[in-house]
A and B are shown apart, each in its own frame.
Chain A
Amino acid sequence: MTDWAHLIDLEKCTVSPRVFVDEEVYRDEQERVFGRCWLYLVHESQLPNPGDFVTHYMGEESVLVCRTASGKIRVFLNSCRHRGTRMCRLDAGNAKAFTCPYHGWTYDNQGRLIGIPQFKEAYYEELNREDWGLIEVPRVESFRGLVFACFDENAQSLDAYLGDMKWYLDLIFNKTKGGMVALPGLHRWNLGGNWKLAAEQFNGDNYHTGAAHESMLKIGLGPANGQFLGDQPWVRDFEAKLDNGHGWINFKIDMAGGVPTPLAQHMERMQSTARQRMTRAQSELVGCVHVGNVFPNFSILTFLGFLTIRVWHPRGPHNMEVYSWGMIEQEAPPEVVEIARKMQILTFSPSGIFEQDDGEMWGNSVKALRGMHRRNFPLNYQMGAGHGRTDPDKPGLIHPPSTEIGIFGVYEQWQALMGGA
């Protein structure tokens, strides 16, 4: 494979446009990034019972995620071993077995080939079924109910891979006893743009909010002081660059016009519960706006009581497909769930009044970067470089918004994976 390390300049903090538009780079990325990293699949609350399954993607691979009778979650390529046909065409359901619609090979939810039509007459019973089970994704591990899988059987554990990101994920997923549960349904939509442009924005781009989301400020659905920055730099309002290319944005805003009373009361309750469950440094951050990305393509955003978690599936260098779910604290009363759900739909969904504008930007970037001349000129990721600090209270390299220290970490990690022959 090609050594793509030269596309990232670590000293100058620049990135070649080819990272976002080049077909060859994209092809290698499928193997070297998506083939090696832990990829998010599903929350355990979405597979509560034995036999429950969902279909999903890991990069461009269609996968079948099954809760087996023993309660274990196993992940298989959603492709029959006979002719490769996509077997399961449903998004979710409950099944003991899956039958390929083409010739009828049948597999149980542990991937074993259990049925072959005309096994005696056509195969003379000579086919060894054990050799032809579903192709299994070798590593499946979870953190706080978030299930990830990895194609690389020698990969480090999910726990080690997430590293310091766990401290930040806990601000959301461990603040109450019941944790977070998924709402039914999935927002699924196509967007122009390379998947990394979305991932890097959630990793640490607070800088875009003033321009890209200017319309929100103009209609009064934004911070009272007109800035998505907060007022306690370094302490509560910061961005964190974390190992393995992960990143986190944290800030508190007072919404113009306030938030609905039941939601405000709910958020206060969550904060007081959190104080009993985590360190003081952590609990003081609970209830802030949190935005983050687990490298490569799993992002989270919590804002005004809702939580969206999403995966930016690569669809060629110039397009992506978004899977986005809604989550809420298991303890939230139905009235609060409805406020949060409607707020998520209004702001961060295919029709979301924040989301629409982000979706416009990423497509615009790749359209402009595709030019054979444009791609010779690097992109600038220098903001704040060298000005990050460590903090005894929280992990990572810290800098107040805005900075590109964390974002450039995405490309440092990308380079580490895409470099070498």
Chain B
Amino acid sequence: MMNAADRIRLRHEFEELLYHEAWLLDNDKLEEWLELFTDTLRYWAPVRGNLEPGREDLSRPHLLAHFDDDKTSLTLRVKRLRTGAAHAEEPRSRIRHFVSNVQILETDGPARVKVGSNFQVFRSRWEGTEHLFVGCREDWWRRIDNTWRNEERFILLDHNVLENMTVFF
């Protein structure tokens, strides 16, 4: 059990880390962003829907998702953006990440922490195309060699009908 001061310190540490991550994403430092994740990463955003209360079971086997990446496929997505031929991001969109509601949800010893956060991601594309993506994330971070690395990112998008999604969360 952590005392209040440790808890505040830890939350503050992750707020800084998540702001830094947003800064990397907004400034097209995607290769550096990838370094935040472990090689065992699962980067997962299941689909939502309008179902009866209690029927939206995100653990249903084989449920479709908007992302279900490992480190290799997430890296492939970034590499593709670097080819100069990823037309949906040529020229690159203007993207801004807003992160809030940072919470320490769970700890598993001193080196493993589950952190929750909300996000809004604004994408301005080409002439008039503007999209807003809203949702929350639950991340498992692990301390490896004195650095926090993300080994599991669960993204819950609050959308039923989406748009062409070229952004990362």
Q: Which residues of A contact B (CB under 8 A)?
A: 89-93, 183-192, 212, 214-216, 218-219, 221, 321, 325-326, 334, 337-338, 341-342, 344-346, 349-351, 353, 355-357, 359-361, 363, 367
- Cα-based distance from A357 to B86 in the complex (angstroms): 7
Q: State whether B66 touches A359 (Cβ < 8 A).
A: no
Q: State whether A353 touches B77 (Cβ < 8 A).
A: yes
Which residues of chain B (63-79) have a CB below 8 Å from chain A?
63-69, 73, 76-77, 79
Report B-chain residues with C-beta under 8 Å of the C-beta of A91.
49-51, 160
Chain A nearest CB from B136 CB (Å) reads 18
Select one of A92, A212, A321, A360 contacting B49, CB under 8 A.
A92
- The tally of CB-CB contacts under 8 A between chains A and B is 127
Q: State whether A357 touches B87 (Cβ < 8 A).
A: yes
- Cα-based distance from A350 to B77 in the complex (angstroms): 13
- Cα-based distance from A359 to B125 in the complex (angstroms): 13
Chain A nearest CB from B68 CB (Å) reads 5
- Cα-based distance from A326 to B65 in the complex (angstroms): 10
B46 at the interface (CB under 8 A from A): yes
- Cα-based distance from A218 to B82 in the complex (angstroms): 10
Q: Which residue of A lies closest to B127 (CB)?
A: A367
- Cα-based distance from A355 to B62 in the complex (angstroms): 21
Chain B nearest CB from A321 CB (Å) reads 7
Q: State whether B165 touches A350 (Cβ < 8 A).
A: yes
Sample (27) of A-B pairs whose CB atoms are under 8 Å apart: A89-B50, A91-B49, A92-B51, A93-B51, A93-B52, A183-B64, A185-B63, A188-B160, A189-B164, A191-B163, A192-B129, A219-B83, A326-B64, A334-B62, A337-B62, A342-B68, A342-B69, A346-B76, A350-B164, A351-B66, A351-B166, A356-B88, A356-B165, A357-B86, A357-B87, A357-B88, A360-B164
Q: Which residue of A lies closest to B166 (CB)?
A: A356
Select one of B80, B89, B127 contacting A219, CB under 8 A.
B80
Report B-chain residues with C-beta under 8 Å of the C-beta of A183.
62-64
Q: Which residue of A lies closest to B78 (CB)?
A: A219
Report B-chain residues with C-beta under 8 Å of the C-beta of A216.
80
Chain B: interface residue total (CB-CB under 8 A): 37
Report A-chain residues with C-beta under 8 Å of the C-beta of B62.
183-184, 326, 334, 337-338, 341
Q: State whether A345 touches B64 (Cβ < 8 A).
A: yes
Contacts known (A342-B73, A345-B65); A215 close to B86, Cβ less than 8 A? yes
- Cα-based distance from A341 to B47 in the complex (angstroms): 13
Select one of A189, A345, A361 contacting B67, CB under 8 A.
A345
Chain A nearest CB from B162 CB (Å) reads 4
Contacts known (A89-B50, A361-B87); A184 close to B161, Cβ less than 8 A? no
Q: State whether A215 touches B83 (Cβ < 8 A).
A: yes
Binary contact track B44-58/A, C-beta < 8 Å → 1, others 0: 001101111001000
- Cα-based distance from A192 to B154 in the complex (angstroms): 29
Select one of A90, A341, A357 contacting B68, CB under 8 A.
A341
- List 11 other contacts, CB 8 Å, given A90-B52, A215-B87: A91-B50, A92-B49, A93-B51, A189-B161, A215-B83, A338-B62, A345-B68, A349-B64, A350-B164, A353-B86, A367-B127
Q: State whether B80 touches A215 (Cβ < 8 A).
A: yes
- Cα-based distance from A353 to B67 in the complex (angstroms): 11
Q: State whether B76 touches A353 (Cβ < 8 A).
A: yes
- Cα-based distance from A326 to B88 in the complex (angstroms): 23
Q: State whether B85 touches A218 (Cβ < 8 A).
A: yes
Chain B nearest CB from A183 CB (Å) reads 5
Q: State whether A190 touches B52 (Cβ < 8 A).
A: no
Select one of A192, A219, A326, A367 contacting B76, CB under 8 A.
A219
Binary contact track B93-136/A, C-beta < 8 Å → 1, others 0: 00000000000000000000000000000000001010000000
Q: State whether B77 touches A214 (Cβ < 8 A).
A: no
